[in-house]
Homo-oligomer: A and B are copies of this chain.
Amino acid sequence: MREVAILGAEMTKFGIYDKTNVELFSEAGLGAIEKSNIEPDKIEALFFGNCMGDFEEGQLHMASFAHSAIGLKKSAPALRFESACATATVAIRNAALLVGAGVYDIVLAGGSERANAMGTPLATRTFAMASHALYETPLGITFPGVFGMATHMYSEKYNIPLDELKRHMAEVAVKNHFHGVNNPKAHLRKEITVEKVLSGMMVADPLQLLDCCPFSDGSAAVVIADAKTAKDLIKKPVYIAGMGQAASGPLYYQKDITRVKSREISIKKAYKEAGITPSDIDVCELHDCFTIAEIFALEGFGFYEFGKGYDAATKGETRFGGKVVVNPSGGLKSKGHPIGATGAAQVTEIAEQLREESGPRQVEGAKIGLVDTLGGDFGTVCNIILRR
């Protein structure tokens, strides 16, 4: 396999839009293409992610329309992927595999979603379709509900009083909002306090409003090429060192929802491919859809032992200047979560960090970065490790 690189990477500001997914993705895609110093007709395939364009705007078959809106050549295939919240990461991974294999030299990959457009109550119900429609949805299970249950189980399993755990979880939200203030693309660009988190509306016990990421509209895209092509085109390619993806089925298959089995398999493969250990990671964009989810991820990566990662944010270990900077973009919590675009935005952030283009939120000397995206209630995890 050839070495594969990320060239240009671009995202729209995440937030609220009155534009279609194809319009949003065109903005991100053309931005990524421009930053790659190429014209759209050099792109050999489009790997496009979207979860629910049919519900959001009555649009299926979106890849073909994005293809034409961006002005790709007709011989370039356009594909749509959907793996719940991991959608764009899966699209990027599969594009990278085919570039590595020599099938394509230059591919555009990413995703788009108008998750905000339908409003939070309806979005909560409709995106719950990513859980099992026969055995979970009829019971009223939504994602806040799943992560609420998982929080209680974590508290019990590791004997951490719920009030104490909730303060540490609040520190995750505070940290990610603190990071997000320096990100002009963030949806919720404001600092918050532990007190504010703990006084928020109850969403799904014990998760309160600010434990939850927002539904956002937005797109992100990256250009992927083989290392040789990349070096000829731009000054600072960022290389894919390792990748992983695993599936673990519906929630009722999970033995322990305080651990995400698909992540443990995916990250192990990514570390092995990259030839690194957890301590080699300098910066990480992980799937903090809820504050507890960040804690699960830190433990899943091996940054902390299971049951020991809950106070990482409180201790400042995952903040700027900490041992590994987690979610410098603000994460899903502050930057926002347009479902099918999230993974591509995570890759964009890590690529910019490794190029030292992150301005006031630059993680000094970052050489190796990790992307982590979780789809559904633990059903899919996809990881990508990037290096300078």
Contacts and interface: CB of A to CB of B under 8 A. Distances in A.
A249 interface: yes
Interface stretch (A60-68, A105-113, A224-232): A60-68
Contacts of A20: 133-134
B133 A248 contact: no
B55 A51 contact: no
A71 to B, nearest CB: 10
A83 interface: yes
Contact of A129 (B58, B78, B382): B58
A76 interface: yes
B97 A375 contact: no
A76 to B, nearest CB: 7
By size class, the interface of chain A is 35 or more
A80 B77 contact: no
A245 interface: yes
A314 interface: no
Interface stretch (A3-11, A146-154, A261-269, A357-365): A261-269
Contacts of A59: 129, 132-133
A126 B54 contact: yes
A328 interface: no
12 contacts: A59-B129, A60-B127, A60-B129, A67-B249, A69-B249, A75-B269, A77-B90, A77-B245, A79-B83, A80-B81, A80-B82, A81-B81
